[in-house]
Structure 1
Amino acid sequence: MLHAEVHGPDDAPTVVLSHGWTCSTLFWAPVLRALGPRFRVVLYDQRGHGRSETPRRGGYSATALADDLCAVLQATVRRGTGAVVAGHSMGGMTIMAAADRPEFRERAAAVLLASTGSDRLVPSARVFGGSPGRLVRLRSVFHRLLLTVPLPLGPVTPLTRAGLRYMTMAANSPADMVDLCVRVVHACGSVPRARWGSVLLNLDLRESLRHLDMPSRVLAGTADRLTPPVHAQRLAEALPACEDLVLLPGTGHMTPLEAPDRVCEVLRELVRDHLGAPAGADAATALEEAS
């Protein structure tokens, strides 16, 4: 069973947010606050995360991610009304995996892919080793272990906090956002973390990108060690209807935590440009303010 929640008035423009690996709906709290009450925001926990049910061994795949997103869209977005669908990291991969589904195509008016990639995630990661030409084999082994070893993270300590910040965020990230990141990631169970990591290890969604032909924008931080900007550049080149590639200087992988106002700015622009003028004074005001 999936946990999903809806915030905001029923007649407001709808934004659906899909979180990444080891995260939960709590991850979107800064974006939810920044969007304000004049949008209808749908959040859900990916299976094995947050308050959603943890699947058995066979329940982990890109197909399962697409199934769950489509189920959420069917339950929360009326066919033909449209929504802006945004995904961060594995959430962006979820959108790519669902690109050819009728349930997705009938409800997604535009998409935002944030801090994500379609393939070759391990070879391009830069958590360990700065130069692409050095220690290639050792770096690859480290990144594979990071994704797939089902060891508990243990209690939050200054050392684990510093390590997680180094891997996922920029050095100048606000302390409260680092604390939220640590809280969210440590709450993810070690088994689903490792099993989803194994899915990401060999993920290849390049073929799915040609089906993602609705208006799209790609966003990434230039200091992202997990999905470096090369992924965003590849996505922008491959997407049939990419409108913009937004690079955030000095920002790490956790863009919705590190730059929620900038993420919201892009979401508001997508709402303004592709959802039209919805019914209701609050929604109309939201579109006016986004202009």
Structure 2
Amino acid sequence: MSRLMRTNGKRGADGPYAPPVAARELTAVSADGARLHIEVHGPEGAPAVLLSHGWTCSTAFWAAQIRELAQQHRVITYDQRGHGRSPAPVGPAGYSTQALADDLEAVLATALEPGEKAVLVGHSMGGMTLMASAGRAKFREHTAAVLLCSTGSSKLVAESTVLPLRAGRLRTRLTKSVLGARAPLGPVTPVAKRILRYATMGPGSSPDKVEACARIVHACPRLVRHGWSHVLAGLDLDADVRELRTPTAVIAGTVDRLTPVVHARALVAALPNCVGLTELAGMGHMTPVEAPDAVTGKIRELVGAYVQAGQAGQVGQVGHIKEGA
């Protein structure tokens, strides 16, 4: 285990959307020397869950899951490089799916005992991190099951419906420009919240959830946001998905504009061991915040089936579920 380290930094949310104080804070060191901030919640020896957040987010994104799961689980969260309290990469070489996979390996080695298995959950870029890691030895050593939330493996810009235009070259080019803009997001204003709600959340999202997501996203440094946008624009993890042989469930919002539900259905078709697809009616891209009970409940199911019951490797039948908003 790495030594305990406490750091200061923006958490991006407060009140009911601020994660509880971690029982322990650790630092992992990745293959290129990047340092990653880790938080561990819940009792030692409890079944382990690792949460990997998405682009422009941080550990604060998982507040609802941490509060619910940490009562009976050991919940491990970490800030992706450049996000939250993990320092930004030095130079463009630090932005790649290989770097994401290296980072995850370092976090697993730091936060888990040798051979210990956990349920790994990834949202958006966090899900892409899990896919990119599928062939890694450390990933296979420590993964009992996977939950992919609101994510995709390729064609992210081409499939995005953030811009209300007909699919084609023009929409793809304009979407790439918008998502990769260098401009600062600025303060969290009513206009900023309306834009974020339209682009990333369902129309029924409550104001407090929109506020929480806006504070988290706006806390991400401008250059970090821009650097990762290039990686996402050129993403191609289709081959890695086929290597993800661990039991894997998929969750998606039916009105997700960033990673529309077509991505979730493609993942189900490509995964060697898919154990369920849940489509959340009326939900957007921020499913762990928009539908916390559904996401947390699915994590509990995976822990019960593949960690507590010792059924890792069991192939389940794909269940196609539609849930109301």
TM range (shorter): over 0.9
- 1:33: how far off? 1.7
Counterpart check, 1:167 vs 2:202: no
Gaps of 5+ in 2: 1-34, 311-325
Letter in 1 for 2:114: R
Query: How big is each residue's C-alpha offset from its partner over 1:78-136, in whole Å with a ceiling of 9 and x where there is no partner?
Result: 2322100000000000000000000110000100000000000011000011654xxx3
**Residue in 2 aligned with 1:230?**
262
- 1:28 paired residue among 62, 76, 81: 62
- 2:189 paired residue among 136, 157, 164: 157
Partners of 2:114 and 2:137 lie apart in 1 by 10
**Residue in 2 aligned with 1:111?**
146
Counterpart check, 1:146 vs 2:181: no
- 2:100 paired residue among 65, 80, 85: 65
1:49-88 to 2 correspondences below 5 Å: 49-57=83-91, 58-88=93-123
8 Å Cα contact 1:147/1:198 also seen in 2: no
1:1-291 to 2 correspondences below 5 Å: 1-57=35-91, 58-129=93-164, 131-132=166-167, 136-276=168-308
8 Å Cα contact 2:37/2:78 also seen in 1: yes
Query: How big is each residue's C-alpha offset from its partner over 1:53-79, in whole Å with a ceiling of 9 and x where there is no partner?
Result: 111121000000001111101111123
Letter in 2 for 1:10: E
8 Å Cα contact 1:34/1:260 also seen in 2: no
- 1:149: how far off? 1.8
Gaps of 5+ in 1: 279-291
Letter in 1 for 2:249: R
Q: Where do 4+ consecutive residues of structure 1 move more than 6 Å?
A: none
Letter in 1 for 2:67: R
Other structure's SS at 1:42 match: strand
**Bigger RCO (CA 8 Å, 6+ sep):** 1
- 1:148: how far off? 1.7
**Residue in 2 aligned with 1:283?**
none
Partners of 1:162 and 1:30 lie apart in 2 by 22
Partners of 2:166 and 2:173 lie apart in 1 by 16
**Residue in 1 aligned with 2:317?**
none
Q: How many residues align?
A: 275
Partners of 2:252 and 2:131 lie apart in 1 by 16
Partners of 1:22 and 1:28 lie apart in 2 by 13
Other structure's SS at 2:146 match: strand
8 Å Cα contact 2:202/2:283 also seen in 1: yes
Other structure's SS at 2:216 match: helix
Other structure's SS at 2:36 match: coil
Letter in 2 for 1:80: G
- 1:36: how far off? 4.2
8 Å Cα contact 2:57/2:216 also seen in 1: yes
Partners of 1:88 and 1:73 lie apart in 2 by 17
Letter in 2 for 1:42: I
Partners of 1:49 and 1:166 lie apart in 2 by 23
Partners of 1:12 and 1:150 lie apart in 2 by 43
CA RMSD of aligned residues (A): 1.2
Give aligned-pair identity as a percent. 54
